[in-house]
Amino acid sequence: MPYLKRFYIFLSVLVLSGCAIQGGPKPRYFWPIGGLEPKIEYVDFYESDRDVKHPESALSQAVLGTELGKPLFTSPHGIGSRGDEVFAVTDPGVGRVFVLDLPKGEFRKLKNPAGEDFVFPMPMAVTYRPNGGGYVSDTKLGAIYRFTPNEVVVQKIGEGAGLNRPNGLAYDPRQKLLYVADTLNHQIAVFAEDGTLLRRIGKRGSGQVEFNFPLDIAIAPDGDLVVLDSLNARVQVLHPDGRFVRMFGERGTAAGSFKLPKGIAVDGFGHVYVSDGQAHRFVIFDLKGDYLMSVGSQAVVVNGEIHPGGLDLPKGIAADPDGKIYIVDSLNRMVHRYQFVSDAYLRQHPILKGEQYVPEKLR
């Protein structure tokens, strides 16, 4: 039977956590590794429809060996979070945008007005507005689609605006502006809510407010723009009008550097998360550009083994104001969920004696 007891998270953990499975402390995975104060927790993964529908978490199913369902994704790429445990994932491999609604245990697709699955030529990024609607970039068409809170695609914007392989998106609710990483134009395009192109920010280069294949963009808690300047291997922080604030990051393998950054997100605490596809990890900074830590290493899912912290070409990343972190693990065809361990989170999820385990892949 397919997917029967498909997931086994490390034989060593199963042995160590035998008491946990029988009702004792459950295994939990934190970073940094090595007994330091926990800052990031691995929470769950979403690979099949059962991971969304099942009342237990996918991680619990992995330990218990529960039979799982059909895979969700073919080639997942971008991700956007609504902020209430509902998030959308673009899949250019099938031309769809999937919505995972964890509170309802539902898995949906964006629709057209007739109620049919909306087929995108090549959807890349997705972002939400506070009302539950949002936008999807289509890099093949060079356009942006708008969808309603009912998840119906109703408008195509940006045609005639000269977009060239648009990727990352960020919506600023305070200014009611949509920012688009216009990758092959090496600029940030700024649109009004009605789809009118208002202005462009930057040009190609390596100086301030210059970009080399910008791939993604996020909005900081103070309203500044946080741009992933991918082939310059750095992050640029700009005021909303495009004025330069600071830059940080560099190409390399040292702490705080990137090999091939793919996505960027900012949470409500001012942490900047950058997914590094070639390094198979995500890197965390504060908004001043100070390096905080890295999470992850390469792990290919073979025979259903899931390694907490393991990634294979991570791409899109999203973060909520309360510190939920979602990252697309593209070649393993799943999404992983992490959590910044804030004081409020610890009060709701205290770490009990015997719960902390070290992911074997990262020892």
The string of pLDDT tens digits covering residues 251-300 is 998 889 999 999 999 999 999 999 999 999 999 999 999 999 999 999 99
The string of pLDDT tens digits covering residues 174-233 is 999 999 999 999 999 999 988 999 999 999 999 999 999 999 999 999 999 999 999 999
User: How would you classify the pairing of strands 166-172 and 86-91?
Assistant: unpaired
pLDDT exceeding 70 applies to what percent of the chain?
87
What amino acid occupies position 232? N
Place of tokens 């309802």: 104
Angstrom distance (rounded) from CA 109 to CA 118: 8
User: How would you classify the pairing of strands 123-128 and 79-81?
Assistant: unpaired
The string of pLDDT tens digits covering residues 87-107 is 999 999 999 999 999 999 999
The string of pLDDT tens digits covering residues 32-42 is 987 689 999 99
pTM of the model: 0.90
Q: How far is CA 159 from CA 78, 141, 248, in A?
A: 21, 8, 33
| Residue 1 scores a pLDDT above 60 | no
Neighbours of 156 (CB within 10 A): 14
The string of pLDDT tens digits covering residues 302-359 is 877 888 999 999 999 999 999 999 999 999 999 999 999 999 999 999 999 888 877 6
**Strand locations in 129-260 (E):** 134-138, 143-147, 153-157, 166-172, 177-182, 187-192, 197-201, 203-204, 210-211, 214-219, 225-229, 234-238, 244-248
Place of tokens 């791409």: 315
Q: Check residue 62 and give its pLDDT.
A: 56
Q: Is 132 exposed, middle or buried (0-12, 13-18, 19+ CB in 10 A)?
A: middle
Higher pLDDT, 9 or 312: 312
Q: Check residue 273 and give its pLDDT.
A: 98
